[in-house]
């Protein structure tokens, strides 16, 4: 295993699986089996990478490096730390579950659908392991294509509008990041005499504090659109509502984490002085997202749109934790990235299951389903309580760490953030009450089918993780501990920030 390029295999395998699935377009059942086999083998490879990963050791591991465009300082450089590993584990779990959930929901162009999911998985894994800025940018952009096609081909009535909006928003943000990457590379060449886009080398060099302000802003816009941070959030409800169930699951479960991952992986350690100066505003954006997303969710009658706006609120907690800039808050933010993927991914799976039965997402057309489909109601209750952050379930641990850390930095923002917990309980419990409790409002609901065995086992791993993280979070916290420590240490380097080009000494020297 020491000489096996396992990280490269994690990118190549789903790509090959996707190509093979497209080649079997005339045999949709066989194509589906090939795609499922490819994604499960990819998941097993992720577990093998985790087994080889030295938990608690600082730095990047399982590193693979090769020259790519040496004259420009661009290389193929991949590696993982604890945060990368936990995001890979999340991707390796969510993707096959989304594929299995699509078996009865996708009936047209089946091979293409599964192939695009595999291409999307490959791009996501590439984002989480890339240690070269250009390589990261390439995977970041590749991700756009399959996700936009999933929405645009298999989505709802307004799918083209939603797909184009998603593509344009992310593309505009990517252009800001590309300009910053080019500028950062030129600055390094002027200072050292050679070009490089290698992240560890740039961290060791230290970006001059006087240039950090605008570089930080360019990267921030790209990542903030992907989260999405208010006011960059308007593409998300359209994308979620129009996407097929698997697309919504992948979007909420993994894709949105690309933005918060970018904050921690690139923004904080590369631009520590700018981060420190921006932190209060970042926390403000976090609490705005928490409250604003919750209020919008509270106003929804469409079940899927409600969950979409809840994502904005819950990811506001992650943004708050990241910019509180202490060990507890950043650990909580990384853990909450995973918790959100599990809980909201499960919610979108269940929204798809409900829609498949009722052919509506209107809460006004539901009611009393708990007496008709008690097992489905039980699963939804657990997922609802997880999303709320009930103690002994996963959401509580991440939100608690975030709020404890935020209290250390700004008690005011922590108090406002805590209101989001209350609002979350209001809109989620109200949703559950309207859909599942009370008398059966419409007689046709009595014919609703109970949760199938296949659907139950698709949801089961997510429910297990909800209780596991909620009751015994230590393995997950230990996995990300060194990442958190290193990021906080980088940000705490004493550098004076100047936005007029007259910054102090680069940090890290």
pLDDT reported for residue 493? 67
Coil, strand or helix: which one is 302? Answer: strand
- Bond preceding residue 231 cis, omega within 30 of 0: yes
Q: Domain tally for the chain?
A: 1
Please indicate, yes or no, if residue 333 is contained in any of the structural domains: yes
Residue-wise pLDDT tens digits, 66-109 = 999 998 889 999 999 999 999 999 999 999 999 999 988 888 89
Residue 73 covered by a domain: no
Q: Which residues of 151-173 are buried (b: 16+ CB within 10 A; e: fewer)?
A: bbbbbeeebeebbebbbebbeeb
Domain-located, residue 36: no
332 vs 402: CA distance, rounded Å: 5
Residue 115 to residue 100: CA distance in whole angstroms: 13
| In a domain? residue 180 | no
The predicted pLDDT at position 2 comes to 62
Looking at residue 1, its pLDDT comes to: 53
Query: Please, what sign has the CA dihedral across residues 462, 283, 426, 227?
Result: negative
Q: Which residues of the chain have pLDDT under 50?
A: 494-509
DSSP states of 56-122 as a string?
A: T--S-EEEEEEEEEGGGTEEEEEEE-HHHHHHHHHHHHHHHHHHHHTTTT--SSHHHHHHHHHHHHH
3-class state of residue 126 by DSSP: helix
**Within a domain: residue 371?**
yes
Residue 424 lies in a domain: yes
Q: Are 198 and 489 in contact, with CB atoms under 8 Å apart?
A: no
What span, in angstroms and rounded, lies between the C-alpha atoms of 501 and 382? 53
pLDDT of residue 210: 87
The answer to whether position 313 is within a domain reads yes
Residues 199 and 188: beta-carbon distance below 8 Å: no
Q: Quickly list DSSP for 360-394.
A: --BGGG---GGGT-HHHHHHHHHHHHHHHT-TTSH
**Predicted local distance difference test score (pLDDT) of residue 505:** 29
Q: pLDDT for 305-347, tens place per residue?
A: 999 999 999 999 999 999 999 999 999 999 999 999 999 999 9
Q: In which domain, by residue range, is 307 found?
A: 271-493
Quick one: pLDDT at residue 125?
Answer: 97
Identify the pLDDT of residue 206: 87
Decide if 179 contacts 218 (C-beta within 8 A): yes
The pLDDT of residue 334 is 97
CA distance linking residue 91 with residue 78, whole number of Å: 17
- For 131, 141, 340, the CA distances from 301, given in Å and listed in that order, are 43, 34, 22
pLDDT at residue 506 in the model: 30
Q: Is the pTM of this model over 0.75?
A: yes
Q: Is residue 95 part of a domain?
A: no
């Amino acid at each position: 295993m020491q000489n096996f390029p396992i990280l490269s295999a994690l990118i190549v395998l789903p790509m090959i699986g996707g190509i093979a699935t497209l080649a079997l377009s005339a045999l949709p059942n066989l194509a589906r089996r090939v795609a499922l086999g490819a994604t499960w083998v990819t998941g097993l490879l992720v577990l093998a990478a985790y087994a080889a990963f030295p938990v608690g050791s600082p730095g990047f591991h399982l590193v693979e490096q090769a020259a790519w465009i040496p004259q420009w300082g661009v290389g193929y450089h991949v590696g993982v730390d604890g945060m990368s590993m936990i995001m890979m584990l999340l991707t390796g779990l969510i993707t096959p579950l989304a594929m299995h959930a699509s078996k009865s929901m996708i009936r047209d162009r089946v091979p293409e659908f599964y192939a695009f999911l595999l291409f999307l998985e490959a791009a996501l894994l590439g984002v989480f392991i890339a240690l070269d800025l250009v390589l990261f940018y390439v995977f970041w952009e590749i991700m756009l294509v399959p996700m936009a096609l999933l929405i645009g081909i298999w989505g709802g009535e307004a799918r083209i509008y939603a797909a184009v909006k998603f593509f344009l928003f992310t593309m505009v943000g990517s252009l800001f990041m590309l300009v910053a990457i080019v500028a950062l590379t030129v600055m390094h060449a002027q200072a050292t005499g050679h070009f490089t886009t290698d992240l560890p080398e740039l961290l060791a060099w230290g970006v001059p504090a006087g240039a950090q302000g605008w570089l930080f802003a360019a990267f921030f816009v790209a990542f903030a659109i992907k989260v999405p941070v208010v006011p960059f959030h308007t593409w998300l409800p359209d994308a979620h509502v129009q996407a097929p169930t698997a697309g919504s699951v992948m979007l909420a479960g993994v894709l949105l984490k690309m933005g918060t991952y970018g904050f921690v992986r690139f923004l904080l350690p590369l631009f520590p002085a700018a981060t420190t100066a921006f932190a209060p505003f970042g926390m403000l954006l976090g609490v705005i997202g928490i409250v604003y997303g919750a209020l919008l969710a509270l106003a929804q009658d469409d079940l899927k749109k409600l969950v979409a706006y809840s994502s904005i609120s819950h990811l506001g907690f992650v943004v708050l934790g990241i910019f509180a800039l202490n060990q507890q808050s950043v650990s909580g933010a990384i853990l909450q990235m995973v918790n959100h993927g599990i809980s909201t991914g499960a919610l979108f799976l269940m929204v798809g299951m409900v829609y498949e039965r009722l052919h509506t997402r209107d809460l006004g057309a539901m009611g009393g389903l708990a007496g008709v489909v008690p097992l489905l109601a039980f699963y939804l209750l657990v997922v609802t309580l997880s999303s709320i952050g009930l103690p002994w379930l996963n959401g509580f641990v991440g939100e608690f760490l975030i709020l404890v850390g935020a209290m250390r930095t700004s008690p005011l923002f922590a108090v406002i953030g805590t209101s989001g917990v209350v609002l979350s309980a209001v809109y989620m419990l109200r949703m559950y009450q309207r859909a599942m409790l009370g008398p059966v409002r419409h007689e046709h609901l009595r014919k609703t089918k109970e949760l199938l065995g296949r659907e139950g086992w698709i949801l089961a791993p997510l429910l297990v993780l909800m209780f596991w993280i909620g009751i015994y979070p230590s393995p997950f916290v230990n996995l990300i501990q060194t990442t958190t420590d290193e990021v906080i240490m980088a940000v705490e380097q004493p550098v004076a920030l100047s936005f007029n080009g007259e910054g102090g000494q680069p940090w890290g020297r």
